[in-house]
Amino acid sequence: MWYQRVMAIDDRTAPSAHAPSSTRPDRRRSVPAEISRSWLLVPGTAADRFERAQRSRADQIILDVEDAVDPAAKPGARTTVASWLAGGGEAWVRINDVTTDFWADDVEELRGLPGLQGVVLAKTESPAQVTDTWHRLGGHTPVIALVESALGIEEATAIAKAQGAFRLAFGSGDYRRDTGTSADTLAMAYPRSRLVVASRVGDLPGPIDGPTVGSAHAILREQSQVAVSLGLTGKLCLDTEQLPVINEVISPTPTDVAWAQDFLDDFEARGQVIRDGSDLPRLGRAQKIQRLAQAFGVEAR
């Protein structure tokens, strides 16, 4: 029984046969969306960048018809995105929030498109918004709830439990604007931790952190490390140059993989016998590291 419980813990981070994934060309590997690290946002008006993004090192790409598009250009951007998804492209789409005049048209035009991996619902503040979106899309398209306000953070647990919810994501910029919070690591620890706890309670994969603005790799690395330390398992990004750093920081290190292999080998060699209270947590951690290392292509060193 104890072994089954540990496997169940690890299975929450394991690739699922039913999870949305992409068969993007010229990619080294395809990473299931539930454990994807890097989520590249591309404006829905930038059709010339869609294919390049699909060939990039991003685990997932998100075509954005919300904040990245001027209101007057949203209908055209939506049509551009829909045409690309209908013609062989594959991506997630960040759609407008439920309270806008654009939301209903977004879900109507995207519904049933073969290349639609899922949607990112902007400014989510209630579980009903997630479930309504999921139903309107046909009841099978996963919804990432982008939480961007004080109300959204306070409702995060209910949102994580909503029918159709796939992962939570943090709209850090809009959250700061809504609350007056600074970008300081300590000030932003509370909303990030709330999303982590809510995801666990809702039995969802770890949440996706907000983007880092700018091209300074040292800052990006530091902010990605903070996100990982708090329990977030993915990060939105705005530039392909950020992808290698995000993927590296959120992946297990070669040293982690070596430790996991050594622990599991020793565990098998002693007949899977539990010696003390630390063995079960370490077993769960080792199995999780091994699964992620296989998915991300990280080898022991």
Q: Residue 272 pLDDT more than 50?
A: yes
Please give the pLDDT value at position 11.
Answer: 43
Band the pLDDT of 2: cuts 50, 70, 90: very low
Report pLDDT digits (tens) over 164-219: 999 999 999 999 999 999 999 999 999 999 999 999 999 999 999 999 988 789 99
How large is the average pLDDT for residues 41-61? Answer: 97
Report pLDDT digits (tens) over 6-22: 333 334 444 443 344 44
| Domains of the chain: residue spans and CATH | 20-250 (3.20.20.60), 254-296 (no CATH)
| DSSP per residue, 186-252 | HHHHHHHHHHHHHHHHTT-PPPEEPPPPSS-HHHHHHHHHHHHHHT--EEEES-GGGHHHHHHHHSP
Phi, psi of 223 (to 5 degrees): -70, -35
Band the pLDDT of 29: cuts 50, 70, 90: low
Band the pLDDT of 55: cuts 50, 70, 90: very high
Q: Residue 234 pLDDT more than 70?
A: yes
How does the average pLDDT of the chain come out, rounded?
90
Q: Residue 32 pLDDT more than 50?
A: yes
How large is the average pLDDT for residues 220-245? Answer: 96
Please give the pLDDT value at position 5.
Answer: 30
CA distances from 56 to 40, 49, 164, 252 (A): 9, 10, 28, 21
Report pLDDT digits (tens) over 122-146: 999 999 999 999 999 999 999 999 9
Band the pLDDT of 278: cuts 50, 70, 90: confident
Looking from the CA of 66 toward its CB, the CA atoms found within 13 Å total 22
Comparing 10 with 273, the larger pLDDT belongs to: 273
